[in-house]
Chains A and B, each alone.
Chain A
Amino acid sequence: QVQLQESGPGLVKPSQTLSLTCAISGDSVSSKNAAWNWIRQSPSRGLEWLGRTFYRSKWSNDYEVSMKSRVTVNPDTSKNQFSLQLSSVTPEDTAVYYCVRSQDGHFDVWGRGTRVTVSS
């Protein structure tokens, strides 16, 4: 059974970088059949896909078009996990952040989510 677990600080100051990690069990971050995504949810914006990393013959990334300049998703093969970095945060980035596996064109495994508040 595949499980994902988010971790990271619950409070980040404005203008700083939000950093989260997702630990994977039951699958490999290097799987050629999966992609590893970050999705966030807030009452004002609903569910919002941020980006993904995946391995086929090499590592690749895709990012949400409006956030491309601020988002980085990286794999860590030594720890079988992947990370999210979101720079220059504002209170608008306050949300629940989910790490999610996608396979065959849909998001099939979700982490429980971690709430991040941006506030001074």
Chain B
Amino acid sequence: QTVLTQPPSASGTPGQRVTISCSGSSSNVGRNTVNWYQQLPGTAPKFLIYSNNQRPSGVPDRFSGSKSGTSASLAISGLQSEDEADYHCATWDDSLKNWVFGGGTKLTVL
């Protein structure tokens, strides 16, 4: 139902590296930069990665983003318990002329 496709869940143990994918099309991910948002339980989303791979100040370098073609990925290395959250990707869609989101991925730290 959402324009961008993310896996509904992901998991890892402390210290591991986890990746979350975001798949779109030529009208959105293929043409525009992708942003990632972290949503801790019970809070509003917070922006985590912008322009595919840029981190705002204050975001640890354990978080990184990449994009290739019509897919983007968020990688979290050195997984910590406080990384347990929902992660959402977003970009602009040139055909729809609006912002589109993925369905969100719930990350569990085992």
Can you pick out 23 interface pairs between chain A and chain B where the beta carbons lie within 8 Å of each other?
A: A37-B99, A45-B1, A46-B2, A47-B88, A47-B90, A47-B101, A48-B101, A49-B90, A62-B98, A64-B99, A98-B44, A105-B32, A105-B35, A105-B50, A105-B51, A105-B92, A107-B35, A107-B45, A107-B90, A108-B47, A108-B50, A108-B56, A110-B46
What distance in Å separates the Cβ of A38 from its nearest Cβ neighbour in chain B?
11
Check if B44 sits within 8 Å of A110, measured CB to CB: yes
Interface residues of A in 31-76 (CB under 8 A from B): 37, 45-49, 62-65
What distance in Å separates the Cβ of B110 from its nearest Cβ neighbour in chain A?
24
Name the residue among A49, A104, A111 with the largest chain B CB count within 10 angstroms. Answer: A49
- Bound CA–CA A64/B99 (angstroms): 8
Interface SS majority for chain A: strand
- Bound CA–CA A110/B43 (angstroms): 10
A79 within 8 A of B: no
Name the residue among A49, A106, A112 with the largest chain B CB count within 10 angstroms. Answer: A106
Check if B97 sits within 8 Å of A65, measured CB to CB: yes
What distance in Å separates the Cβ of B48 from its nearest Cβ neighbour in chain A?
10
Total residues of chain B contacting the partner, CB 8 A: 26
Interface residues of B, Cβ cutoff 8 Å to A:
1-2, 32-33, 35, 37, 43-47, 50-51, 56, 88, 90, 92, 96-104
Candidates A45, A46, A64, A111; contact of B44 at CB < 8 Å? A111
- Bound CA–CA A111/B44 (angstroms): 7
- Bound CA–CA A46/B87 (angstroms): 11
Total residues of chain A contacting the partner, CB 8 A: 20
Check if B45 sits within 8 Å of A110, measured CB to CB: yes
What distance in Å separates the Cβ of A34 from its nearest Cβ neighbour in chain B?
14
Check if A47 sits within 8 Å of B45, measured CB to CB: yes
- A106 and B35 contact, Cβ closer than 8 Å, known pairs A46-B88, A98-B44: yes
19 more CB-based (< 8 A) A-B contacts, given A48-B101, A49-B98, A64-B98: A47-B45, A47-B88, A47-B101, A49-B90, A62-B98, A63-B98, A64-B99, A104-B50, A105-B50, A105-B92, A106-B47, A107-B35, A107-B37, A107-B47, A107-B90, A108-B56, A110-B45, A110-B46, A113-B44
